[in-house]
Amino acid sequence: MSRYTSATDADRRAMLATIGAGSVDELFAEIPASVRLDRPLDLPAGMAEQDVAGHLAELAARNVDCDAETSFLGAGMYDHYVPALIDSILQRSEFLTPYTPYQPEISQGGLQVMFEYQTAISELTGLAVSNASVYEGPSAVAAAAYLAKLETRRTGLVVSRGVHPHSRETLATHAVGYGMTVSEAGLDAVGATDVDALAGLVGDDTAAVFVQQPNFLGTVEELGAIGEAAKRTGALFVVAADPIPLGILEPPGALGADICVGEGQTLGNRLDFGGPSFGFFAAAERFIRKLPGRIAGETRDVDGRRGFVLTLQTREQHIRREKATHNICTAQALNALAGTIYLSWLGRRGLVELGELLLRRTHYARETLGLEAINPGPVVREFAVRVPDLDAAVQRARAAGINPGYRLGRDYPELGDGLLVALTERRTRADIDRLAAVLGGVREEAPA
Amino acid sequence: MSLDPRAGEQTRTIYEKSVAGRRAFTAPECDVPEIAVEDLLPDWARRTEPAALPEVSEPEIVRHFNGLSKRNFDLDTGFYPLGSCTMKHNPKLHERVAALPGHARLHPLQDPEYAQGALELMFNLQSALGEIAGLPHVSLQPSAGSHGELAGLLVTRAYHEDRGERRTKVLTPDTAHGTNPATVTMAGYEVVKVGTAPDGGVDVDDLRAKATDEVACLMLTNPNTLGLFDSNIEEIAAIVHGVGATLYYDGANLNAVMGISRPGDMGFDIVHFNLHKSFTQPHGGGGPGAGPIAVSDRIEPFLPRPQVVRAASDNGHGPRFDLDFDRPQSIGKLRGFQGNFGVFVRSYAYIRSLGAEGLREASETAVLNANYLRALLAAPEIAEHLPVAFDRTCMHEFVLSGSGAKEQLGIRTLDIAKRMLDHGVHPPTVYFPLLVDEALMIEPTETETKETLDEFAQIVADILAEAAEDPEIARNAPYTTPVRRLDEAGAAKNPVVRQPAATDS
């Protein structure tokens, strides 16, 4: 028998007798011989558990993770500390192994987590309603475009070049299916969205306008002004946000955003080489029946006890089929649970304290590096600089055990010498000073 | 305070447990100059009122979520024969290897040179999935089955456009998962339904009538959602290919045929895998999953980017793995980064644990278990109320109809499902597929023992016998769960989807 099955030869005989079949092979008689595989799959032979563990450990050892170097890489996922209680709670089988809660009477734990998660996301974004998670950040941006299509029946999408390049590309990929076209508004001389250029692209057929807060370069965008330009013709204003800086930044909902989406990795999720994490999706109240995916709602049972259910399911694919508000089924419940625990751990004050620490470290790092800033205005958690002879600087850094950040040239050809440097609470002043030394910048002494 | 152990404490939310001044988090010391926030952020950017997150201590958080966990049923606790969801055992090894820092703490934008282990793992997984599907080119990027479906239709569109063709329709059987038609609309096509023949397979005459040169694709599950293998698959493929359309395989039911029959050999052009079904990624209460796709040569140029590729060594050491972005005909990215790598680690560990022989045996046992349970439930005292919808050898799952129980006993499928909760098992998928009246869709999976299947059949018999005596018992079930039947209509009519904003501060 294979590793995870239990049928003994005696079981098989007894079961086949009950079925009335002579062999297991007979059960597959309806598969025509012409489409049967007449050889074993060409795969390596199975291995004992300890050998699999050894093989996976060998592969893992060939990666340079964030414990193995001092990493200033960000650009969409960030090396935040994940508290131990998240690991402990996420490994509870009652959270790890159930399916989507189709039977609410035996799924109250998961459903209440969704309700608490939705509350936290509403609070962070300043928007009335949140769903229970979508896949991840960039596809959440694409999901917002689909809502805008259903809501406005228009076909134009305007996106700032300050939005993550992966989000823009994902939006363009999905827009082909939606029958929509995407136009991009450039950045101004200080690395913020060029509001005039964006306003010039917004027309009567614009379904939605997308910006990111802080933007890909770390610039704090002036959402109020952008929103005004965006909504002039009735387009929806969509903000993609990093949730941690929202602890100190005015929430998008308070600045006119109709929808706020984003990548949830920073909320208590591992880096995991890019996933799984979760995407969040919050919107103004009037869109509640157009949201994608699962939503938990509060109700009562027949005895009057408080309980939670999946609600407004007539939006969803399993009920509405081709008229559904999205095709999403399996989302990211476990990752959203990590986010819910993380936000409870930080709490009302901790989120602000963390945001302020990031703000100060970002400022300190930009000043200390002493390099030409691409975005000299307000920044949180990330900033972009021009590095003379970037190739050599990166090599020096790597030789010193430092990953200095993300090179901007692939996504912004005009910034071929640009480096995007990310901070988290794990990158200390000493780390920043080492980075400054190796990049060859002039370190400014901080005032005593 | 109520003495009812199911009331009170357990239903308070974390926000209702919040007390101003409590905390769990201690911020690292600020080791840089403490410049005033007002000097670093302009007024228009600053948040004036903190987000109303809870204020709770670590012990309270732990108790809160542990308390909630006890209000969930889960696969590690009991039988979970949820049809079409493949609730097979989630090996514990996978959690350990996924948590290794080299995997869990690897940044997605790490230079490929410094992520060779991760890229090799992805490359090996691509190769294995391609072999299992019988289609050589794999993209791991889609995040779940529905995302894989969308990828499949977008590559279909790109393929046809490359040939100068503009097609507008996609065919789906009337037994299809809801994600299929929803995906069709999102990909910009019109859904055309194909009927089901009396034997449960695709109505080939109906298909022939609807297969025109306007059709881009037929989306099919084989075995289908009735758990039946469609033995006309080659004829179906010929009809679809005859009009220039692609044939798409929804891999939700792949667990029936691993190592036995390959979608590529059946004539499919595109397959998606649910790594959270056949390949053991824990479902997490609704994700994460992953939905890689495998495609044939003619579809390959259009796969999402980047692709993981293997290059010959340039320094005499082993092969070198890289991310290939230079794919001019690609549909582009479907999401950020490279996909749900943590899921890939688990599924790869599973494939390496089982090997070719083990995967085949898993499918064989899944089919054996399903047919055994089907045979047990064919006992006259059960079958007179819950007849199997299509009386054929099934694959990994089968569908019963509760129409008999409704008429003869006055209980609906929903009542049977709710009464099962009192017996400590998760009910099957109910009311799907839609063409079976009062459907119960049962998928036991290969990891369950004969004894578990015997017990389940006995539970079904007991519920029916009890209902023959007193149908009110099932109609009002469950009784032993943390809550009883919930007012779903009321929840939808007046949606309360978040904690009301707190008044204290």
Give the CATH number of the domain where residue A75 resides: 3.90.1150.10
Of B351, B370, B388, at which residue does a domain stop? B351
Query: Does B247 map to a domain?
Result: yes
User: Residue B503: inside a domain, yes or no?
Assistant: no
Contact (CB, 8 A) for A281 and A140: yes
Residue B162 shares a structural domain with residue B278: yes
> Closest Cα of chain B to A70: distance in Å?
12
User: What is the 3-state secondary structure of B175-196?
Assistant: CCCCHHHHHHHHCCCEEEEECE
Q: Which residues of B177-189 are buried (b: 16+ CB within 10 A; e: fewer)?
A: bbbbbbbbbbbbb
Which ipTM score applies to this complex? 0.97
Tokens of B111: 């230079």
Is B501 domain-assigned?
A: no
Contact B15 A116 (CB under 8 A): yes
pLDDT tens track for A380-428: 999 999 999 999 999 999 999 999 999 999 999 999 999 999 999 999 9
At B307, the amino acid letter reads Q
Measured between beta carbons, which residues in chain B are less than 8 angstroms from residue A103? 73, 417, 421, 426-427
Q: A211 pairs with which residues across the strands? A: A239
- pLDDT digit string (tens) for A298-312? 999 999 999 999 999
pLDDT of residue A445: 45
CB atoms within 10 A of CB A416: 12
A301, B485: Cβ pair inside 8 Å? yes
Q: What is the 3-state secondary structure (H, E, C) of A337-375?
A: HHHHHHHHHHHHHHHHHHHHHHHHHHHHHHHHHCCEECC
CATH number of the domain residue B372 falls in: 3.90.1150.10
C-alpha B317: how far from chain center = 40
Does one domain contain both B146 and B244?
yes
Q: Residue A162 belongs to a domain with what CATH number?
A: 3.40.640.10
- Please tell me the predicted confidence (pLDDT) of residue B10: 58
The answer on A283 and A152 residing in a single domain is yes
Considering the domain architecture, whether residues B297 and B442 belong to the same structural domain is answered as: no
Chain A CA closest to residue B256: A28
Is pLDDT above 50 for A446?
Answer: no
User: How many domains are there within chain A?
Assistant: 2
Query: Is residue A231 in some structural domain?
Result: yes
Q: Can you tell me the distance from the alpha carbon of A388 to that of A343, in angstroms, rounded to the nearest whole number?
A: 40
Q: In what order do the strands lie in the sheet with B270-273?
A: B137-139, B293-295, B270-273, B246-251, B215-220, B169-173, B190-194
Same domain, yes or no: A414 and A275: no
Out of B351, B384, B400, a domain closes at B351
Contact B486 A89 (CB under 8 A): no
- Pairing relationship of beta strands B320-324 and B293-295 according to DSSP bridges: unpaired
pTM beyond cutoff 0.90: yes
Q: Based on the fold, state whether residues A288 and A190 are members of the same structural domain.
A: yes
Element (H, E) at A218: none
Is residue A198 assigned to a domain? yes
Q: Which of A295, A324, A340 is the last residue of a domain?
A: A340
Phi, psi of B429 (to 5 degrees): -65, 135
pLDDT of residue B502: 55
Q: Going by C-beta distance under 8 Å and a sequence separation of 6 or more, which residues neighbour residue A212?
A: A160, A162, A163, A164, A167, A221, A239, A240, A241
Residue at A36 is within a domain:
no
At A443 the pLDDT is: 43
The answer to the question of residue B498 being in a domain is no
Contacts of B52 in chain A (CB under 8 A): 123, 348
Whether A328 and A412 share a structural domain: no
Residues of A in contact with B388 (CB under 8 A): none
Same domain, B363 and B347: no
Asked whether residue B193 falls in the same domain as residue B224, the answer is yes
Q: Which amino acid is at A233?
A: T
Q: How far is A81 from chain B (nearest CA, A)?
A: 10
Query: What's the total number of domains in chain B?
Result: 3
Shortest CA distance to A425 belongs to which of A345, A362, A347? A362
Contacts of B32 in chain A (CB under 8 A): 360-361, 363-364, 429, 432, 446
Which one of B319, B351, B383 terminates a domain?
A: B351
- Residue B121 within a domain: yes
What pLDDT shows up at residue A317? 87
Same domain, A304 and A361: no
Last residue of a domain, one of A320, A340, A360: A340
Q: 3-class DSSP state for residue A11?
A: helix
Of A35, A61, A274, the CB nearest to B117: A61
Structure confidence at residue A1 (pLDDT) = 55
Instruction: Specify whether B346 is located in the same domain as B370.
Output: no
CATH number at residue B227: 3.40.640.10
In a domain, A93, yes or no: yes
CA distance B404 to chain A (A): 23
Q: Tell whether B341 and B386 lie within a shared domain.
A: no
Residues of A within 8 A of B495 (CB-CB) are: 288, 295, 297, 311-312
State whether A306 and A377 are in the same domain: no
Task: Tell me the sheet residues that pair with A157.
Answer: A182, A208
Domain shared by A170 and A217, yes or no = yes
Residues B23 and B45 in one domain: yes
Q: pLDDT for B159-213, tens place per residue?
A: 999 999 999 999 999 888 899 999 999 999 999 999 999 999 999 999 999 999 9
- Sorting pLDDT into bands at 50, 70 and 90, what band is A47? very high
The answer to whether position A38 is within a domain reads: no
Residue A104's CB: how many other CB atoms inside 10 A? 24
In B, minimum Cα distance to A60 occurs at B102
Q: Are B261 and B249 in contact (CB under 8 A)?
A: no
Query: Which residues on A lie below 8 Å from B352 (Cβ)?
Result: 44, 46-47, 52, 55
DSSP structure class, residue B264: H
Q: Which residues constitute the domain of residue A378?
A: 70-79+348-439
* Residue-level pLDDT at A275: 97
B245 and B133 belong to one structural domain: yes
- Domain-located, residue B12: yes
> For A319-346, what is each residue's pLDDT tens digit?
889 989 999 999 999 999 999 999 999 9
Does any domain span residue B90?
Answer: no
Below-50 pLDDT ranges, chain B: 1-3, 5, 7-9, 503-505
Residues A174 and A288 in one domain: yes
Residue of B nearest to A394 (CA): B111
Range(s) of the domain holding residue B268: 112-351
Q: Which of A303, A319, A340 is the last residue of a domain?
A: A340
> Are A178 and A312 in the same domain?
yes
A262 and A144 share one domain:
yes
B338 and B476 part of one domain: no
Same domain, A259 and A361: no
Sign (positive or negative) of CA dihedral B154, B157, B161, B162: positive
Are A273 and A376 found together in one domain?
no
Half-sphere exposure of A160 (CA within 13 A, CB side): 34
Are residues B293 and B439 both part of a single domain?
A: no
